[in-house]
Amino acid sequence: EPGDRLSPKGMKGSRKVKAIFIDEKIPVAMRDRWPLVTDDSGTMLWIPGVRRSGIAQPSRHTKRVMMLRFHQSGDVWEDV
């Protein structure tokens, strides 16, 4: 969505997803199809193949994790 933001790991504050895509040279034609992982409240957690959020990082107190894996084949993303 326009204005979506990610708080990149190791960085203070947040950045617009659009700006991250531009910095990482993700082609405009692929941006609408790029997977974005959020929590149930819509907080951006991960842009696969690009950047992780510093939010919700596992710690020694973490009891459960969910593993997601994506594979890019050309301009198509698939969950594996």
Q: Do 37 and 46 touch, CB atoms closer than 8 A?
A: yes
The torsion angles phi and psi of 65, rounded to 5 degrees, stand at -135, 160
Separation between Cα atoms, residue 14 and residue 12, nearest integer Å? 7
Q: Which pair of structure tokens corresponds to residue 41? A: 């409240």
Separation between Cα atoms, residue 6 and residue 27, nearest integer Å? 19
What is the pTM for the complete model shown?
0.79
Digitized pLDDT (tens) for each residue of the chain, 80 residues in all: 888 999 998 889 999 999 999 999 999 998 988 999 999 999 999 999 899 999 888 889 999 988 888 877 766 666 65
Task: Estimate to the nearest angstrom the gap between the alpha carbon of 23 and the chain centroid.
Answer: 14
Separation between Cα atoms, residue 32 and residue 69, nearest integer Å? 19
